[in-house]
Amino acid sequence: MKIIQLIFFYLAIILLAMVLSLSGVRLSFSLGIFAVLAVAMIYRHIHILYRTNNMELVDKWVKRRRKEPIFAALYASAYGTLEEQIRAFDVIIHQYKQPAIKYNYQFMKAIMEENHGAAKAAAQQINKEPLSSYAFCYLAALEGRTVAMRSDKLTQSWMQPAIEAVYAHTQKDQALFRQWADASIEQARGVQKYGLIHNFRQMEKDWGSE
């Protein structure tokens, strides 16, 4: 589907170039139009991925790209089972060689499997801030180490509230969990916001299954 969309996009550009050429439009003007179209397309991608608060837009984006590994994991977090999420993580772990991506998803997989030893080993391999500090603070929150779960290295504004929500979840304090979860979601944007919404929703479901 993505290839077909790109084909139609480039065919449209070629057709527009032919029309402009036949109309006697200067080449520099035509190139300017193409540049504006390209920038607009790139901006739309960046806006959806990193800046928007429109979760319906992000949801449509994720659904259209759910065959791509990263988006498949997001889709599984929203619509799949725990087993489907872990399988989606496994695909990323095996396909991506960049340590920050590979070990971050390995960390999340270990957390889902409640394997703190594997999670710690993965966190030590992430080697990129603030992801590394976030992983260690996340583990500290799960283990009730309240001093270690707070860090100045959590430079993205959604991170510390998310850690506080994790700790509140371990304490079975639903009101405090919701307070911190909402604070984290409010600070996040784009696919990060989308992921947090569904991750926190899953944590709330855990209470219902106890």
Question: What is the pLDDT at residue 20?
Answer: 58
Whether omega before 130 lies within 30 degrees of 0, making that bond cis, reads yes
Q: Which residue has the tokens 């990129």?
A: 128
Quick one: pLDDT band at residue 210, thresholds 50, 70, 90?
A: low
Closest Cα partner for 138 from 102, 100, 108, 179?
108
pLDDT tens for 10-47 read 566 666 666 655 666 565 665 566 666 667 777 788 88
The whole-chain average pLDDT of the chain stands at 89
Q: Which residue has the higher pLDDT, 15 or 124?
A: 124
Q: Which residue pairs, CB below 8 angstroms and at least 24 apart, start in 41-45?
A: 41/9
Question: What is the pLDDT at residue 22?
Answer: 61
pLDDT tens for 55-99 read 999 999 999 999 999 999 999 999 999 999 999 999 999 999 999
Domain-wise residue ranges, the chain = 2-51, 82-208
CA dihedral 130, 69, 59, 153 (to 10 degrees): 0
User: Is 61 buried (19+), middle (13-18) or exposed (0-12) by CB count in 10 A?
Assistant: buried
- 184 DSSP assignment: H
Could you give the angle at which helices 190-208 and 69-79 cross, rounded to 10 degrees? Answer: 40
The answer, yes or no, to whether residue 1 has pLDDT greater than 50, is no
Question: What is the pLDDT at residue 45?
Answer: 80
- Tell me the DSSP string of 19-44: HHHHTT--HHHHHHHHHHHHHHHHHH
Residue 134's CB is within 10 A of a number of other CB atoms, namely: 24
Contact assessment for residue 126 and residue 132, using Cβ atoms and an 8 Å cutoff? yes
Contact assessment for residue 195 and residue 58, using Cβ atoms and an 8 Å cutoff? no
Q: Which residue has the higher pLDDT, 24 or 123?
A: 123
